[in-house]
Amino acid sequence: MKNFATGFFIIASLLIPVFAPAQAETPLQEPIAIGRPAPRFSLPDTQGRTHSLEEYFGKTVVLEWTNHECPFVRKHYESGNMQTLQREATAQGVIWLSIVSSAPGKQGYLEPAAAQKLAKGLGAASTARLLDPSGDVGRLYGARTTPHMYVIDKAGVLVYRGAIDDIPSTDPGDLKSARNYVRAALADRAAGRPVAQPETQPYGCAVKYENR
């Protein structure tokens, strides 16, 4: 009985952060409604080039909030799952922007050169890795977890927001049976259909915003 109780406590403590909201000292804006124009933003990438959402009008855009130290993110990158999805999407003309909103001194923060080296080492296939150390863009979108995924259609409208898939775990073995919501959303839009499941509950580590 003692071993069972101890095991239950450990499992519970691991699961609590999965759906935990961002810290109270970092209030997020109310998320925009699905079907509404996605908020405009501009951010620098790891090489200093500024990317704006407006410049990609007319193309489907995926936003991926990421933190390379988060075990949920590591599951998708160390298995190659995220890179595969990135390659599939960009090969079809989708713009994929990975966004890091970790504040200086917090988990997941890297200076631009180190972030560029990391992305190369991971074999990331996103269009760009954008740096948001102030957390302004993350808050604008209401990004709560890493990963937290968004799909914006060619008209600049938000058509999907939520988890990458339907199994909230850190076990790469679960990927074989998981339903990938982002892949499904992109397929729906490519076929001219409304996204069948436009919003899901995100899971992962809380975004490490600066305290305000």
The pLDDT tens digits for 75-84 are 999 999 999 9
Q: CATH fold of 2-206, please?
A: Glutaredoxin (3.40.30)
Interaxial angle between packed helices 81-91 and 71-78, expressed in degrees from 0 to 180 and rounded to the nearest 10: 60
pTM score over 0.75: yes
**Distance between CA 181 and CA 159 in Å, rounded?**
12
pLDDT, tens digit, 9 for 90 and up, residues 98-148: 999 999 999 999 999 999 999 999 999 999 999 999 999 999 999 999 999
Residues 6 or more apart in contact with residue 145 via CB below 8 angstroms: 18, 65, 72, 202, 203, 204, 205, 206, 207
Q: Output the CA–CA distances (angstroms, integers) from residue 209 to 24, 34, 129, 140, 182, in the order listed.
A: 11, 24, 17, 12, 24
